[in-house]
Amino acid sequence: MHLQQPNHICVRSNRDRIVRGLCSVAAVILLVGCSTRMIEKKAVELDAVKLDVLGVRLFLYPGVYPPDMSSVFLLKNVEINYGDEVLDLGTGTGIQAIFAARRARRVVATDIDPLAVENARDNVAYHGLEGKIEVRQGDLFEPISPDERFDVIIFSPCFPREVPEDTNEILNGTFTDRCWDVTLRFFSGAEGHLKEGGRIFYLMGFEANMPHVRRIIAENELRIKDSSAVLLDEVMYAVFELTPLRAGD
């Protein structure tokens, strides 16, 4: 025989669930608030610089490379679709990763510098994004598993200041420059971590570097889907959106 619960029991049960839900939300808000205050206190102790990037508060720890106008230019030209998985290489303060997390389902941010990794992790925690952004330490793709694939890879390397006459000097290693070495290693490994239909957003500075970059892109069987350039403080910067060449392209 089926016995129907009295109405007052059903009401109390629903009320209890609502109260538990509100308590859970309050607990999360409390934890985020505590984390925010702890990071603000740490930033003061470290004499960190407070930054406002397109309305987003970030802390810049001493010794970490600061975001600049070219970083903002990259931000404005990166396209993230809802649900994308994103890899941000050389994350620094975490600026690209934090903005990408607005749409991305998951973001992995890496940096070779342990100070930058600490800075990025704290900025991520300050915005309550630990559940979406994972910050790892390592050189380029070193901290990425061989089978990890992403919809978007974002990279803003150091910009070479010395430029050879012939790109072959870069490709065959006779022209040694740390920034060109980083660029070569990035492009040799990038496609292996892209999903089908994935995109690369790559920032390069200085007009003299652009022909060499285009040659390196072609040598690694990537194509320039789109590009945007800007002159900032008399220096030309370009963001390239790249996709892999496929059979028949």
Task: For strands 194-205 and 150-155, give the pairing.
Answer: parallel
Are residues 41 and 75 part of one domain?
no
Are residues 225 and 147 part of one domain?
yes
Q: Is the pLDDT of residue 47 over 50?
A: yes
Domain total of the chain: 2
6-39 pLDDT tens trace: 555 444 555 656 545 544 434 444 444 567 889 9
Is residue 161 within 8 Å of 206, Cβ to Cβ? yes
92-148 pLDDT tens trace: 999 999 999 999 999 999 999 999 999 999 999 999 999 999 999 999 999 999 999
3-state secondary structure of 127: coil
Domain that holds residue 217: 64-244
Q: Which two tokens stand for residue 105?
A: 């389902």
3-state secondary structure of 69: helix
Phi, then psi, of 111 in degrees rounded to 5 = -155, 145
pLDDT score for 33: 55
Q: Is the pLDDT of residue 225 over 90?
A: yes
- For the entire predicted model, the pTM comes to 0.84
DSSP per-residue string spanning 162-230 = ---S-HHHHHTTSS--HHHHHHHHHHHHHGGGEEEEEEEEEEEE-GGGHHHHHHHHHHTTEEEEEEEEE
- pLDDT confidence tier of residue 4, bands split at 50, 70 and 90: low
Cα–Cα distance between 65 and 45 in angstroms, integer? 19
Residue 52 domain-assigned?
no
To 5 degrees, how large is the angle CA 102–CA 108–CA 110?
125
Cα–Cα distance between 96 and 111 in angstroms, integer? 12
Q: Is the pLDDT of residue 155 over 80?
A: yes
3 versus 94: the higher-pLDDT residue is 94
**Would you give the end-to-end CA distance of the chain in angstroms?**
70
Are residues 155 and 68 part of one domain?
yes
Residue 55 domain-assigned?
no
Upper half-sphere CA count for residue 193 (Cβ side, 13 Å): 24
Are residues 40 and 90 part of one domain?
no
Residue 51 domain-assigned?
no
Are residues 176 and 111 part of one domain?
yes
Q: Which of 159, 161, 157 is nearest to 201 (CA)?
A: 157
Is residue 72 within 8 Å of 100, Cβ to Cβ? no
Residue 181 domain-assigned?
yes
Q: Is the pLDDT of residue 166 over 90?
A: no
3-state secondary structure of 102: coil
Residue 114 domain-assigned?
yes
Are residues 183 and 133 part of one domain?
yes
pLDDT score for 160: 86
